[in-house]
Amino acid sequence: PYLAWRLLREQDRMRLFELHSTEIDVLRHRFHDAGRRVMIYAGDGFDGIKALLPPPPRRALVLIDPSFEDKRDYSRTLTCVEESLKRFANGTYAVWYPQVTRPESQRFPEQLKRLQDKNWLHLTLSVSNPPADGFGLYGSGMFILNPPYTLEASMKEALPWLVKTLGQDAGTQFKIESRGD
């Protein structure tokens, strides 16, 4: 969140939700001088986002970054995005998810695609082969609904560099899928 805050324009606002009590203190310390531009809420972002949509300027990026420690986070994320699109159809929604060998993670991108049949961008970055024992993170995915029109071109430049920089073995790769209006 700190990097995003540093990129905000003067008129932009940031709202952060954190469920874990120990992390709330870290966020509050990090943003103690941000003033009213950054508001931090202790609680569940899946529930809290409902009160914030649609935002007054009718423009927003909603980043959804659950821990996915609980298998229910996959279905809760899908429900959250689906309900958020009903409240604020033109918002940009970016959903991060882990690349792990769990079936929920493997199905997740296809489920997100079904929420909106047009105007999405799906990016994955695998930094290694999946672990032989089936446990552990080997990459990340980002699914963006209503992405900025320049994002795909930017990612076509950035992802090869990330593969070269972060790659750990022959399983290192990236993928870009998209569907436009």
Catalytic residue among 33, 44, 65, 133: 65
- What's the pLDDT score for residue 162? 98
Average pLDDT over residues 45-62: 93
Instruction: List C-alpha distances in Å: 130 to 69, 106, 138, 169.
Output: 18, 12, 6, 10
pLDDT at 150 over 80: yes
Q: Which domains does the chain have, with CATH numbers?
A: 1-43 (no CATH), 59-179 (3.40.50.150)
Rounded to an integer, what distance in angstroms lies between the CA atom of residue 129 and that of residue 125? Answer: 11
- What's the pLDDT score for residue 71? 87
Look up 65 and say whether it is catalytic. yes
Average pLDDT over residues 164-179: 96
pLDDT at 181 over 80: no
Instruction: List C-alpha distances in Å: 36 to 12, 15, 124.
Output: 10, 10, 34
Give the pLDDT band (50/70/90) at residue 53: very high
Candidates 129, 68, 142, 132; CA nearest to 103 is 68
pLDDT at 147 over 80: yes
Average pLDDT over residues 1-20: 91
H helix count then E strand count, the chain: 6, 7
Give the pLDDT band (50/70/90) at residue 117: confident
